[in-house]
Amino acid sequence: MKKTCALCLFIAAMILALTGCGSKAIDESKYYMYTPDNGKNMPLVIVFHGYGETDNAGNTRTVSTLTDAGSQSKRPCYVLAPHIEDDTFLAQSNREALYAEIKEISDNLISQGKVDPARIYCMGNSFGGLSTVEFLENYPEYIAGSIVMCPALTYSRDSTSNLSGIKNIPIWFAHATNDNVIPVDVSRSAVMTLKAMGAVNVNLTEFSDQEMLSCGALTGFHQADFAVMADETFLEWLFSQKK
């Protein structure tokens, strides 16, 4: 009888492992997760929001655009957006722990056959741009392509110390020329440094005041994500990248 019960438990465990039902559930209080209708072997986009947007992770312009019906009909994908507390942003050790957890979630989605490991993308605005660069530096072999928007790289002395490790990742920087929060020179410097290191698929687009205002951004011009999401070219480029 005991052998029979043990055998049943073993079979049940194997079924759970094979179906993915035994995988750890994503904590919805910490992450926004969008699942496409056809949830097998799909791209995954990791989106980092900006400072002060903890409660808005699932409603940023980037996430809203990626998950709307029109975009999903053309580019179906999973979208993973962490709710990042302000104190997490301000402490590098906390950010590093977050990146490791995101990597674990992504790995679980891959092991379940939901996410294509050759099509994992990463993007973020402001402090989210900083997190995007740091995530790439931590896992350079993991990301097929990235969009970095007005990144707050000046808030971390180490944020650009490992750029050589990401020079082979396709990266598109985007920044308003007259951004009043993070100067455009931050992105210009990062792109110039990467190209000096041999990067061939790294570029920067700068947006004029008129371009920013026309897409609904505020006059501080620190919402490069608004301009990026208003131009199909960026997502078309991102989803064309594959490892």
What pLDDT, in 10s, does the model give residues 88-112? 888 888 999 999 999 999 999 999 9
What number of other Cβ atoms are within 10 A of residue 139's Cβ? Answer: 18
DSSP class of residue 30 equals T
35 CB-near residues (< 8 Å, 6+ apart): 78, 114
Q: Which domains are seen in the chain, by residue range?
A: 28-240 (3.40.50.1820)
Distance (Å, whole) CA 101 – CA 175: 28
pLDDT of residue 55: 86
pTM for the structure as a whole: 0.88
Q: How far apart are CA 136 and CA 99, in angstroms?
A: 10
Helical packing angle, 92-111 and 127-138, nearest 10°: 60
Q: Which residue has the higher pLDDT, 11 or 207?
A: 207
Of the candidates 242, 125, 137, 143, which has an alpha carbon nearest to the alpha carbon of residue 187?
125
Is pLDDT larger for residue 57 or for residue 35? Answer: 35
Question: Strands 31-34 and 78-82, how do they pair?
Answer: antiparallel
- Give me the DSSP letters along 139-203: -TTT-SEEEEES--GGG-TTTTTTGGGGTTS-EEEEEETT-SSS-THHHHHHHHHHHHTT-SSEE
The angle at the Cα of 74, spanning 57 to 168, to the nearest 5 degrees, equals: 70
Show the CA angle centred on residue 219, arms to residues 222 and 70, nearest 5°.
Answer: 65
Reported as a pLDDT band with limits 50, 70 and 90, residue 53 is: confident
- Residues 6 or more apart from 192 whose CB is under 8 A from it? none
Q: What is the mean pLDDT of residues 209-221?
A: 97
